[in-house]
């Protein structure tokens, strides 16, 4: 199997509903995202994927916790990869840094 990893950052405000603690009131985070892709075959150029992150949609219903953001990006990326690579490449895992020292990871 081959794996490729991309990291990107984005800043966003959020708050958590039905929650008592640091994230209950509106505030911002500088999130970091790391997505690892996996596939058994390379393309004609010898690449697993020329990777680009798409823009985030707003979380209108789902609580924007790091865990939910990780799953959202995992699902969105996997959905796009399925069409782009005909199932050749899938997302292995997606990790979100909400601070320098705390992460949440989603995988299946």
The residues that touch Zn ion, with contacts defined as CB under 5 A, are 23
Comparing every residue's Cβ against Zn ion, the nearest one is 23
Nearer to Zn ion, 23 or 104 (CB): 23
Cβ distance 97 to 32 under 8 Å? Answer: yes
Give 29's contacts (C-beta < 8 A, 6+ positions apart). Answer: 11, 12, 14, 98, 99
What one-character DSSP code corresponds to residue 88?
S
Shortest distance, CB of residue 19 to Zn ion, whole angstroms? 10
Nearer to Zn ion, 21 or 83 (CB): 21
Shortest distance, CB of residue 107 to Zn ion, whole angstroms? 22
Shortest distance, CB of residue 101 to Zn ion, whole angstroms? 14
9: nearest Cα among 106, 107, 97, 74: 97
Shortest distance, CB of residue 23 to Zn ion, whole angstroms? 3
| Per-residue CA distances from 102 to 94, 95, 98, 99 (Å) | 14, 10, 6, 5
Nearer to Zn ion, 23 or 49 (CB): 23
Nearer to Zn ion, 13 or 46 (CB): 13
């Amino acid at each position: 199997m081959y794996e490729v990893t991309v990291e990107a950052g984005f800043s966003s405000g959020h708050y958590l509903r039905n929650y008592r603690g640091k994230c209950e009131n509106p505030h911002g985070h500088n999130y970091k995202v790391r997505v690892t892709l996996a596939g058994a075959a390379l393309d004609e150029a010898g690449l697993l994927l020329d990777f680009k992150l798409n823009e985030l949609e707003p979380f209108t219903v789902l609580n924007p916790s790091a865990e939910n953001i990780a799953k959202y990006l995992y699902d969105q990326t996997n959905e796009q990869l399925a069409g782009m690579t005909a199932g050749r490449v899938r997302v292995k895992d997606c990790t979100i840094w909400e601070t320098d020292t705390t992460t949440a990871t989603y995988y299946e």
